[in-house]
Structure 1
Amino acid sequence: MDDDARAHYLTVYLNDHLAGASAGAARFARSARAHAGTGTGRALTRLHGEIAEDRRALLHWMRVLGVQPRRAWQAGGRVAEAVGALKPNGRLVRRSPLRTVVELEGLLLGVQGKGAGWRSLRELARTDPRLDADALEELVERADRQAAELERLRRQAVVEVLGA
């Protein structure tokens, strides 16, 4: 594969991750507000701050690699997140308790995808001197910690809502 094709695919790949990061940050903020005053809300608020930092880190690595953010893709990700928030989960007027389970599953999947993105960049760091493998490893480890915390919150919500 030639260098132009690789550069194109890297641009698409990183912009896809940026769209996901934009949607994820919005979903974390929405979920944290919905759970304000609870342990879950405090955890989601803290994680939202980390997710926002991770998004800035992605923008940094995109600049380092010479990849321009495509704002339309970010807007598309946010629109998709907002549409997903409209799903009633069995209730039309009030928030369904099931929504917590579904949201936490979505957040977990997003964080796992972000971790895969960091792992991909870490792999590229083996041959691309513009990338710092140690800094990317820290981002991988943070994504793993975030995923573990979301899994704990998800399991707790499953027991509360669905019984187990």
Structure 2
Amino acid sequence: MHDKALRIYLNDHLAGATTGAELSRRIARAHDSSGRAPELRRLAEDIADDRRSLLALMESLGIAPQQYKACGGWVAEKIARLKLNGRVRRRSGLSTIVELETLRMGIQGKYLLWTALMAAAPVPGPIDTTRLQELADRAKDQMETVEALHRTAAGAVLGEGRI
């Protein structure tokens, strides 16, 4: 793998992972009294764990995290909260739908990261491709979870049969 490209690629994904970890925690907090709260907390924990796995991989490859990119991901999630959702002071159901859509896209990006690394990794090499496959499989499960949550939220907010 080309060192410079790999360093940039992994740090860009670290920024995305930071955004995803923050967003998933926000969604879980916003729905902490719902029946889906345990599922949302588990999802947020898994996404945070995936970020830690990325950091561990970067460390094993001798790639230093670029803090400005990780901080940029953190800031991006905070700025995204300012979107107009039809309400000024409290959350709208639209917020949940859009946040789940954003989270789904981030998880798909993470899945593509793990599969790209598997395709590029020399065997034998410094990257544990078995672990990458586990992470890719978990990302698939996360996408399915988020899609199910999204369908439920869209049905409740947008109303069945109104479209």
TM-score (norm. length: structure 1): 0.93
Counterpart in the other structure of 1:141: 137
Does residue 1:34 correspond to 2:30, yes or no? yes
Does residue 1:94 correspond to 2:112, yes or no? no
Which of these residues, 53, 66, 71, is aligned with residue 67 of structure 2?
A: 71
Summarize the alignment of residues 95-134 of structure 1 with structure 2, pairs less than 5 Å apart: 95-127=91-123, 129-134=125-130
| Residue aligned with 2:36, SS | helix
Counterpart in the other structure of 2:43: 47
In structure 1, what is the Cα distance between the partners aligned to 2:124 and 2:5? 15
Q: Shift of the alpha carbon at 1:100?
A: 0.8
Does residue 1:17 correspond to 2:13, yes or no? yes
| Residue aligned with 1:39, SS | coil
8 Å CA contact retained: 1:31, 1:41: no
Q: 1:26-61: per-residue Cα shift (whole Å, max 9, x none)? A: 111111111111133322111111111111110111
Counterpart in the other structure of 1:161: 157
User: For this pair of structures, how many residues does the alignment match?
Assistant: 160
In structure 2, what is the Cα distance between the partners aligned to 1:86 and 1:148? 27
- Unaligned stretches of 5+ residues in structure 2: none
Q: Percent identity?
A: 46
Q: Shift of the alpha carbon at 1:112?
A: 0.7
Q: Report the residue type matching 1:113 in the other structure.
A: G
CA RMSD in angstroms comes to 1.3
8 Å CA contact retained: 1:23, 1:80: yes
- Unaligned stretches of 5+ residues in structure 1: none
